Amino acid sequence: MATKRMPLRLPLSVLAALAALLWFTGLLDRVDDALGDRMLRAHAGSRTPPADIVLLAIDQKSMENLAEIAGKWPWPRAVHAELIEGLAPFAPKAVVFDLFFNDHDLYHEEGDAYLREVAAAQDNLFFASAREDGNASLLRNLPPEFGAERDPGSDDDATATLIVPQVLETRNWRGGLVNFETDADGVGRHFLLWHAIDGWRLPTLQTSVARFLGVDLPEAPRPRMHWYGAAPRTLSYSDLFDDLASGDPQLAPTLRDAVVIVAPTAPGLGDFRPTPLDSQTLGAAIVATGIANLRDGDWLRDLPARWPLAALLVAGLVAGFVRRRRTPVVIGLWLAAASGAALAGAYVSLGHDRYAPVAAALLLAWLAYGLFTIQAQWLERREREETIGIFGRFLDPRVVTGLVETGELSREQKPQAREITILFSDIRGFTTLSETRTPEAVVALLNDYFTRQVDVVFRHGGTLDKFIGDAIMAFWNAPGDLPDHADRAVATALEMCRQLDEFRAELLKVEPELGDFDVGIGLHTGPAVVGFLGSDTRMEYTAIGDTVNLGSRIEGTTKGVARVLVSEATRAACDPKRFRFEHRGQFHVKGREKPVDLYEPFPANPE
């Protein structure tokens, strides 16, 4: 029989609906992000932040050590001016202030003037700006130094509310926006190159520094950050301040050609944001990571892996399930191996600056596996019930159930050649019986007789092939293996005779004219082809071959000789401890040139 294909239209339709629902609700993105964050945290441990991007931290130590000369926070701007002026001879590549200078210090106006004067003399300073809600101003009024760019067709009247370093001259407004960009779940995984407003592009702080450093910017406006496993090299603001005032600086020379990021980190001042690394990642560390990624060109490039990977895995599952050539367990092991390979590939890709989201694809693949498995189990159960129903006509239902459960019996089994013992049993005197009774009475009598005889066949593990009029055809050693099939067949024949005697005795009590009711049984052992035979619309489990023909011919020779006759092959296959045989002569049978030796069986130790 041809291998049946597993119908997958229903589970595939359910999978498509689930995929659409999960995508629409954002769950696929959250699954990808959750696994991606775990991988990024693990991978970050193998990455060391560049030593020439330094965080100058306005930490608690600095607040305490500079309290005598600077007072409480916010410090007079003269403190920062002194730092910039003292650091200039050591030629840092860039000094980036991740703090705002938007409001004038009315109590220390001379400090603002000092900072303005010092900043104007430098060309490597960058100052943070930000977007906020409030009264908007025209973007066209921004100074060129701010770095805003216009696309063709931009709105000349575009506005935005910005915090800009108004304490400084406009020539020192170079820097950019530091607004934190988050995904739908509130976690920041990317940094913006630009903020787009009505055809205008306002640079971020990272972008302005990267352009100053002469690097090529990504085409993607929102690169994914490639994190480091440790904080950037960090110096305390007060330590550097004291170092510059010492007359013999030790720290300042280490900042030559470095990018120095000045940012507050003291409790209550630090800006902390949720990222894949931690729910409280220092904002200045995010800026440092963005600058490093852009300068070194190692930001993460997103690979569109979700849908191709999901399609590939589901296609593999379909190939495994559609013809049911593999069990769900084997297919599950394959999917587990494929999932492991996908996870390993995604992790390895991080080392090549590639980010491959695989979690959602794996989720969809395992959903498909679950749906296909449920479908397969349902089909298997239905086919098992159908198989039990079909073979229940031929075998003892209890035997059928056991064979189906162990996989020895299946509707998909192809016809095969194997040795069997065939039994034919035919009623003697049936013609006379039919002539003297009504059809209904004959059917009732035969049903009663067949029920008793089939019970005997089943009790000895035989397979009922068919009823041929008033004859019974049965065989042993198929579909299940029975090494003692000849013994079982002979035992069945002898018990069928005893059952016939009991049945006839019951009938004679009420109908003496049934005295001619008798039976002839023939048995033969040999090779035959056994399996489902027939057309697509009607299949029968049967045996065919010369062995079957000879068994039928032997049954035909029993009349006037013995109720039961067996061939030499059957006699030789039986256990001599169970049966003895008496030779009844040689007989010519149709289809055989040479006569066959036939024997009548008896129990070896009759009770």
Spatial CA neighbour of 196 closest among 181, 175, 174:
181
Beta strands 259-264 and 94-97 are parallel
8-state DSSP, 300: B
Average pLDDT, the chain: 89
Q: Which residues of the chain carry a pLDDT beneath 50?
A: 1-3, 402
Residues ≥6 apart with Cβ < 8 Å to 125? 84, 94, 95, 96, 97, 119, 172, 174
Q: Which residues are paired to 418 by β-bridges?
A: 528
Exposure string of 568-602, with b = 16+ CB inside 10 Å and e = fewer, is ebbbebbeeeebbbeebeebebeeeeeebebbbbe
List the chain domain ranges.
Answer: 9-26+303-388, 45-129+162-299, 396-603
SS3 assignment, position 445: helix
Q: Which helix (H) or strand (E) holds 268?
A: none
C-alpha to C-alpha distance for 426 and 220, rounded to whole angstroms:
88
**pLDDT value of residue 1:** 40
C-alpha to C-alpha distance for 559 and 79, rounded to whole angstroms:
127
Strand stretches in 547-595, DSSP E: 564-567, 579-587
Residue tagged 């020192």 (tokens): 172
Q: Which CATH superfamily is domain 396-603 in?
A: Nucleotide cyclase, GGDEF domain (3.30.70.1230)
**pLDDT value of residue 3:** 47
**pLDDT value of residue 401:** 54
C-alpha to C-alpha distance for 149 and 139, rounded to whole angstroms:
10
CA 251 vs. chain centroid, Å, equals 54
Which tokens hold the place of 60? 């608690």
**pLDDT value of residue 538:** 67
Q: Give per-residue pLDDT as tens, 291-324.
A: 999 999 999 999 999 999 999 999 999 988 887 6
**Hey, how many other C-beta atoms are within 10 angstroms of the C-beta on 545?**
15
**pLDDT value of residue 417:** 92
C-alpha to C-alpha distance for 505 and 562, rounded to whole angstroms:
19
C-alpha to C-alpha distance for 7 and 25, rounded to whole angstroms:
29
Residue tagged 């045996």 (tokens): 543
Q: Which helix (H) or strand (E) holds 492?
A: helix 485-510
C-alpha to C-alpha distance for 133 and 485, rounded to whole angstroms:
92
- Long-range contacts: 338-346, Cβ < 8 Å, 24+? 338/313, 338/365, 339/313, 339/365, 339/366, 342/309, 342/313, 346/39, 346/305
C-alpha to C-alpha distance for 13 and 10, rounded to whole angstroms:
5
354 in Cβ contact with 303 (< 8 Å): yes
**Hey, how many other C-beta atoms are within 10 angstroms of the C-beta on 149?**
11
| First and final C-alpha spacing in the chain | 47
Spatial CA neighbour of 497 closest among 516, 471, 521:
521
